[in-house]
Amino acid sequence: MTTISDENGIINNFAKEPQMYYAETPSNQEQKGYMFWGAIALVVIAGSVFTAVSVS
């Protein structure tokens, strides 16, 4: 932590900032995985909505 004091003697503590980095574009295999899990999530949500509508 960085500690700074001003002219009145007040102490201020500042957290250490993390190193920044840029996100990388996902590979084609990762994109296919995201699409697969998105499709599964869509089926689960559609099934839940269909069940709720048919029960009520």
Dist CA 17 CA 11 (whole Å): 19
CA torsion sign for 22, 28, 34, 38 is positive
Tokens 């590979």 map to which residue?
27
Alpha helices (H) in 5-56, listed in sequence order: 28-55
Distance of CA 1 to the CA centre of its chain: 26
Band of residue 20 on the pLDDT scale cut at 50, 70, 90: very high
Confidence of residue 29 (pLDDT cuts 50, 70, 90): very high
pLDDT at 1 over 90: no
